[in-house]
Structure formats: C-alpha cells, structure tokens
C-alpha cells in the first residue's frame, strides 16, 4: 500500500500519521430564511461555512432539502477548495456550453481531476448527483492535495474490507470503489441511519455542503515543521472500557528530535488487544500546538464477554434464541445503536 505517511503500531491502535493541517477558508456570512441553526446544527456546520461555498438563491432562500444537480455540487466543490476557474476555447463537454453559468466551474473541476463527466463527452449537469459520485469528487481532491495516488493507496483486499463493513458495500460502482473507501476511512462519508452506504442514493443540498465542509479538516494548508516520527499515548492505557461508554485518550505526535508537531492528522484503525476492543470517534483528528490529539474510545469489551459466557451455558445450546441486553445511564453511542439495529438480538436500555 503506497502511503506517504508514517505507520506506528501502538498498543491496540494502528495509527497512520498523515502530514496534514486544517485548511483555512474565508467564511462568508449567510443569513438565509430557510437555513436556521436547527438545520445547520444537525449537520455540525455553520452559516458562515455554508456561505463560503454557496450564495443561495436570489429570493433569500438556500433550499437545503432540494436535491442537488451535478453542476451545483461541482460549483460548491470548486468554491470549497478555491480551485482557479478556467475558460477553455473548446468546451470539454457537449452539454456544458460556454454560455452556462457553471461552465468555468465544471471546466475547473475537470482540469483539477475531480471529474471526467459521465462518458460520451457529456457531463449531465442537471442530473442529480449520487452519494458515491460526490464522495469520489471529494476524495480525489483530498488525496491529490496530500500526494496520494488513489489507485495504489489501498490494496483490493483493503478496499473490500472497508466497503464490506456495510451490507451494500458491494453495490458501489467498481470504478469508484477506491474513492468511496477513502471517503469512509477518512470520515468524510458516514453510513445512513440504516447502516448503509447507499451509493446510488441522491444528495440534498445540505448533505452535499456538509460533506465538503467536513473535508476541510483533512486538506493541508501547509506541512508540519518536520516529518512525524513517533506517537505516544499520554493517557493511562489498558483500562477497561465498558460498551457504549466513552473514554478519552490523548496521544502526542513527535518529530525525530522529540519535538511536538502541530497540524498532523492522525487516522486511527482499531486492532484487537486484550485490554481493548472497540471503535474510535472521530475517525481522524489533528494535533494541536502541543502535538496532542484527543480521541474518544468506545469499548465493546462487555459484549464480547457476555457472548463468551453464553457459550458456557449448556441449556438448549444450539436450539435457543439468544438475546443480549445492555444498560447505560448515559445512553449509547451511534456506533453501538447501529450494531444493535444490524444484529436484532442486542437490546439497549437507558
């Protein structure tokens, strides 16, 4: 797997350190009548961020739940990543003439390698963009900005593993599997409420904007002062982490001289270990001025223990229907609720 990063195996965490930093964007003030805080907050974005990539409509609305045509998403992507506009003498696509207000944006995205149309010399500008198409556009920019070749970033087995975590992973278009896997791995794309990728599903405008805005955090503005050389766990390790409950762990990224590095994106992949089995939230996070990054570890130790103990009970073994019930005063994480929905025999009470 070709990655221009540094792998450090640490306790139960296989950490890929990507040399990245937060992208800075000039944020414009929004103020649309149909884009209140209740809508923005659901997607974890602000009006200023939306204003940086979209002007809305002349009547003062933004229409967050309208489906998003391919030309609109492409324009948002070009604005989000500050890609210079281009105005070629000969149009790349027969259905996007120079007279189109989206012409320079679509040409800019094509030149930057974000899109190559739908085939046959067409772009299908009015077609509604799908979840996998939008993920591909974002992944191509993020990968290129960091010097990664999506064709070699993952092995076929790794791609299958990432997509295989979803029941409909096999339905992702073959030509877009590397891009969608990258988007999932980097936390750009998340599953639906039903735990699906839904690659052919369409996007509404607020969903497309949120995906682009989330990707800013993994687009580098400048490299750290030196290459990362090591990562160490500052929090106490080997602690029991109860299922559905979250514990915070802080790591520090250092250079070869032991100096902390700011602006390094740490992408965590969880491995099995005696002291910890679970998930990390978020999928990736940037180090601060002290080279530190704090992530939430969501344990699944107790569920595994319950399943092992159930196997020791001989009563009607092989014939009985087993259910596992978990209790928590503070509720459960999204990942655990997703697991319960998939399994059918895991009941959550709070």
Q: What is the pLDDT of residues 142-164, one digit of tens each?
A: 988 877 899 999 999 999 999 99
Residue 108 lies in a domain: yes
The pLDDT tens digits for 261-275 are: 887 777 665 332 333
Strand partners, 299: 278
My answer on whether 314 and 211 are in the same domain is no
Whether 330 is in a domain gets the answer yes
The residue among 218, 246, 267 that closes a domain is: 218
Token pair, residue 9, equals 């195996």
What is residue 277's predicted lDDT score, i.e. its pLDDT? 41
Domain holding 130, by residue range, is 37-218
Q: Show the tokens assigned to 58.
A: 């002349």
Low-confidence ranges of the chain (pLDDT < 70): 1-30, 223, 236-246, 267-283, 297-306, 308, 328-336, 350
The answer to whether residue 240 is domain-embedded is: no
Residues 53 and 186 in one domain: yes
H-run or E-run covering 269 = strand 265-270
Residue 61: C-alpha distances to residues 55, 191, 288 (Å): 9, 28, 37
Provide the token pair at 214: 């989330």
What pLDDT shows up at residue 121?
Answer: 97
Both 190 and 316 in one domain: the answer is no
Query: Do 205 and 326 lie in a common domain?
Result: no
> Is residue 188 domain-resident?
yes
Residue 61 sits in the same domain as residue 196: yes
In the prediction, which pLDDT does 19 show? 33
Residue 83 structure tokens: 């890609």
Report the pLDDT value the prediction gives residue 207, as an integer from 0 to 100: 94
Same domain, 208 and 96: yes
Give pLDDT, residue 302: 60
* pTM beyond cutoff 0.75: no
Let me know whether 91 and 197 are in one domain.
yes
pLDDT at 279: 57
In a domain, 110, yes or no: yes
Which of 218, 236, 254 delimits the end of a domain?
Answer: 218
On whether both 208 and 307 belong to a single domain, the answer is: no
Say if residue 201 is in the same domain as residue 326.
no
Any residues with CB less than 8 A from the CB of 50 and at least 6 apart, and which?
A: 30, 35, 40, 62, 209, 213
CB-based contact 142:186 (threshold 8 Å): yes
Contact 227, 152 (CB under 8 A): no
- In a domain? residue 42: yes
- Domain closes at, from 166, 193, 218: 218
In a domain, 135, yes or no: yes
The Cβ of residue 308 has, within 10 Å, a number of other Cβ atoms equal to 9
Q: Is residue 237 part of a domain?
A: no
Residues 196, 326, single domain; the answer is: no
Is the CB of residue 333 less than 8 Å from the CB of residue 246?
yes
Q: How many domains does the chain have?
A: 2
Residue 281, pLDDT score:
65
**Six token digits for residue 238:** 């080997």
> What pLDDT is recorded for position 301?
54
């Amino acid at each position: 797997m070709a990655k221009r990063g540094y792998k450090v195996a640490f306790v139960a965490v296989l950490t890929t350190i990507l040399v990245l930093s937060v992208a800075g964007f000039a944020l414009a003030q929004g103020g649309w009548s149909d884009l209140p805080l209740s809508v923005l907050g659901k997607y974890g974005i602000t009006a200023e961020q939306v204003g940086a990539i979209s002007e809305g409509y002349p009547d003062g609305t933004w229409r967050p739940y309208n489906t998003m045509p391919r030309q609109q998403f492409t324009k948002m992507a070009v604005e989000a990543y500050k890609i210079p506009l281009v105005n070629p003498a000969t149009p790349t696509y027969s259905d996007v003439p120079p007279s189109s207000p989206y012409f320079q944006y679509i040409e800019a995205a094509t030149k930057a390698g974000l899109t190559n149309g739908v085939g046959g010399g067409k772009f299908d500008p009015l077609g509604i963009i799908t979840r996998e198409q939008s993920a591909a556009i974002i992944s191509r920019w993020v990968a290129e900005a960091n010097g990664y070749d999506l064709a070699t970033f993952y092995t076929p087995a790794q791609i299958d593993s990432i997509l295989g975590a979803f029941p409909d992973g096999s339905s992702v278009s073959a030509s877009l599997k590397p891009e969608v896997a990258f988007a999932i791995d980097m936390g750009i794309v998340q599953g639906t409420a039903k735990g699906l990728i839904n690659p052919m599903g369409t996007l509404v405008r607020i969903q497309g904007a949120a995906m682009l805005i989330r990707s800013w955090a993994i687009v580098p503005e400048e490299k750290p002062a030196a290459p990362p050389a090591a990562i160490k766990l500052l929090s106490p390790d080997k602690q029991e982490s109860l299922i559905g409950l979250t514990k915070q762990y802080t790591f520090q990224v250092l250079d070869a001289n032991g100096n902390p590095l700011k602006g390094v994106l740490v992408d965590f992949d969880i491995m099995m270990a005696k002291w910890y089995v679970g998930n990390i939230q978020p999928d990736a996070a940037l180090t601060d001025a002290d080279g530190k990054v704090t992530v939430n570890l969501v344990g699944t130790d107790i569920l595994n223990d319950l399943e092992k103990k159930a196997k020791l009970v001989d009563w009607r073994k092989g014939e009985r229907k087993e259910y596992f019930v978990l209790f928590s005063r503070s509720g459960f994480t999204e990942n655990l609720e997703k697991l319960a929905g998939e399994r059918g025999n895991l009941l959550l009470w709070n």
